[in-house]
Amino acid sequence: MTDETTGAPREPGSQWYDHEAGPLVRPYAVTGGRTAPGPSGVRFDLIALVTLDPAAPAGDDPALGPEHRALIDLCRPETQSVAELAAGADLPVGVVRVLLGDLLERGRVTVSRPVPPAQLPDERVLREVIAGLRAL
């Protein structure tokens, strides 16, 4: 095989990588055409924290693709947010959400979701607590 632009010989399998553009595999190919993370429809916020599940099986799951393994490797040293995983894996956030849904269903990761704003304490109450503590 030869490169169409230079006419130089090309290595087998290199048609999937362009040195300037990066990988040429489209996101829908990575996710198998899925846009939602798993049948449960779990949503992953950008700031949701992803941790490897300590009870996860130690063996390599043949159903996991290289992108799944890359996310596992990124979570191995420390907990990461969904946004950090997307940046570290150099994948779109939508793709990472779908892949994390797969990992969650297989019991490989756990996700700590952020506290919804409705459940956060009222700022007025916090100011009153601070004022009360200062009065002590």
pLDDT tens, position by position, 4-32: 444 444 454 444 445 555 555 566 566 66
pLDDT tens, position by position, 112-127: 877 676 677 778 888 9
DSSP state of 105: H
pTM for this prediction: 0.61
HSE-up of 74 (CA within 13 Å, CB side)?
A: 22
